Structure 1
Amino acid sequence: MNSILKNAVVVPAGQGDAIGFLTWNSLSNMLITPDDLKQKLIDSGLGEGWMPNAIRLPDAFRRATSEKFKREMSPGVYENYMFREVASTSSFVQRNLVCETVDTKGRRLNYIPDVGSLVLDRKTEKVDASYISSMAQQLVSNAALQFDIFRNNYGSTTLRTVITNALKSMSPTPVRPSGGVYFVPAQFDGNLDALIRFIVSLEKGEAEKVPVMNTLDMKNMVTRKLMDHLRSTLAACENGVENQLKKNDLKAILEDAKNVVSNFKDYESIVTGNLQEMEAYVALIRKRVAEALANMAD
């Protein structure tokens, strides 16, 4: 991050000719009600169109029962507790608390498939709990409390998805191999400001943007990063098809690839040098996406 900023030519606020912005954000674990989230989206200027899907009770139930617990019973012997789904119908979802006893080498010494259970009644929206030990009672009761929280609140994972989707609408190009820092073309200045206002309005959110001067060095930097992005996008498409990824995973890759192709037009006035190589990559990506979609339809 520091090396990127050191090489960037920063434009004083309200001055100069910026070609775009470097931006980054972070969000720690937090919860937020749907009403509060909607109001923050509206107040920031992003708009309620970015609201995530309504919280589904089964999703909140599974989220509340996703944690695992481990304790040492004696030297080298451990109990592992985890929830497993045993039934899901139109009327209820049941998840049992499993207890397995293992040694330090991972060998299973004992297995109890139902030391506790939680059953969500889809109609009444209530949870019934049962257990056979004090430890199971503690874990089952905690999961039931978590369910009451998660059914009424979005978590950080959902918020990060909202942020990512909003950023994707601004033709971003990653400028670090590990991600996290993006270049956004200048025409999305207002959208980016709204996104940053939204993120910093969140209890655990931070976001920044740095305008980048219209200099040859900076345009060359953007050109290199865009070229890297095109190459990695093409590779992701080809690897996804060759490795026969699950349909949903492949669809996500192809959707990102289509966005990259669509966004290329926002960079034609920024990139330096001959555009032919980039245009060739864009054409190849478009071709691979079309081929993959055709194969998925067969």
Structure 2
Amino acid sequence: MLNLQIKDLAAVDGINGGNVKRNFLGHLCWYTIYDVKVTRDEMIKKFAEAGMPAKYLPNPISAVDAFRRATAELEENRLPSHDKFVNYLVREVVCDKNVVIRHLIKEVVDAKNVRLEYSKVAEIIFRREDESIKIIDYGANGKVANLESLYKEYRNSYNGQHIRRIVRTVLADMNPAAARPSGGVYFIPLQYEEGLFALEKLVKLLQGEFFTMPVIDQEKSRDMLYQKFKEQIRENIKQMADILKAGASKNETVKIINESKKMFEQIREYEELLNRDLNDLKTEVEILKDQIVSLRSINMI
């Protein structure tokens, strides 16, 4: 539920009987994704129905990803067994160009979580060549009985995790500002309204929940979004600077360079949208860039 401060941003159509024309800065949005199963054909159809660009379609389902998702379902924790507890753990022990091998481990612990037993009860082998799996049961007590059918199901369907990834990717391209410190509610500038509504429709078609609420263009809204946006950018800058100080890898540094360029564009966009001076943020991004240049000059990347 939105707190009172966030509610103050939202448009309320109640002045003079709702006949006042409002200008809006954008929309707040929040969503819930459930763990549904969707085939690729169904996903393509839902994208078309929602009017979502095909570039956001997830990649075709990978057999090895389906294998890992299916075997991950075997994990269970703290199953009571007399005065003890049983955990079932999945451990990947081999991953090469030919096979992926995972072990199902049975772990028995006491009430204080002290390990009493640790044994392999099944071995599951994925063959890359023909995308088949082989199950060797060493005494898994029926745990692996339905694994092959589960693998086939996952081989042909996306799940909630894939849908969440789609939503995060789409929203990231809309220059969102987190409206709450804990996340979960985002402000999306008005220029992305069409794409936001398409995303809302897609999530609902995929049996999820997605809500949007217009934000009135008023001084109070601008002030709050200005504050939230600055907090978000400064937190991002801090995280990137910390990675650089810790000795960023080449890939991490390239990612930071790209993110810093994107931040500059975000700052310009919000400067214009909110009619606020954000030169202090630009300076902080420049300092981050100077750190990258310094690292390059001493051959650390």
Q: TM-score, structure 2 length as denominator?
A: 0.85
Quote the Cα distance in structure 1 between the aligned partners of 2:81 and 2:40.
42
Give deviations 1:96-134, integer Å, cap 9, x for gaps: 222222222333323223x2122222222222222132x
Q: Could you say if the C-alpha distance between residues 4 and 294 of structure 1 is closer, same or farther in structure 2, counting changes exceeding 3 Å? A: farther
Give deviations 1:26-53, integer Å, cap 9, x for gaps: 1122111111111211221122110112
Quote the Cα distance in structure 1 between the aligned partners of 2:122 and 2:158.
27
Quote the Cα distance in structure 1 between the aligned partners of 2:192 and 2:48.
18
Amino acid in structure 2 at the alignment position of 1:227: K
* 1:182 shift after superposition: 1.1
Alignment correspondent of 2:41: 35
* 1:237 shift after superposition: 0.8
Q: Which moved more, 1:170-179 or 1:189-198?
A: 189-198
Quote the Cα distance in structure 2 between the aligned partners of 1:288 and 1:21.
35
Alignment correspondent of 2:234: 231
Quote the Cα distance in structure 2 between the aligned partners of 1:95 and 1:175.
42
Q: Could you say if the C-alpha distance between residues 253 and 146 of structure 1 is closer, same or farther in structure 2, counting changes exceeding 3 Å? A: farther
Alignment correspondent of 2:186: 182
Alignment correspondent of 1:103: 110
Q: Could you say if the C-alpha distance between residues 64 and 9 of structure 1 is closer, same or farther in structure 2, counting changes exceeding 3 Å? A: closer
8 Å Cα contact 2:253/2:292 also seen in 1: no
| 1:19 equivalent in alignment to 2:25 | yes
Quote the Cα distance in structure 1 between the aligned partners of 2:39 and 2:81.
40
Alignment correspondent of 1:269: 272
Correspondence list, 1:1-298, <5 A: 1-10=2-11, 12=13, 15-67=21-73, 68-70=75-77, 71-75=79-83, 77-113=84-120, 115-133=121-139, 136-203=140-207, 205-244=208-247, 256-288=259-291, 298=301
Aligned residues: 293
Q: TM-score, structure 1 length as denominator?
A: 0.86
Q: Could you say if the C-alpha distance between residues 264 and 85 of structure 1 is closer, same or farther in structure 2, counting changes exceeding 3 Å? A: same
Amino acid in structure 1 at the alignment position of 2:97: S
Q: Could you say if the C-alpha distance between residues 5 and 273 of structure 1 is closer, same or farther in structure 2, counting changes exceeding 3 Å? A: closer
* 1:80 shift after superposition: 2.2
Q: Which runs of 5+ in 1 are unaligned?
A: none
Give deviations 1:115-171, integer Å, cap 9, x for gaps: 2122222222222222132xx152112333321221111111111111111111111
Q: Which moved more, 1:251-260 or 1:217-226?
A: 251-260
Give aligned-pair identity as a percent.
27
Q: Which runs of 5+ in 2 are unaligned?
A: none
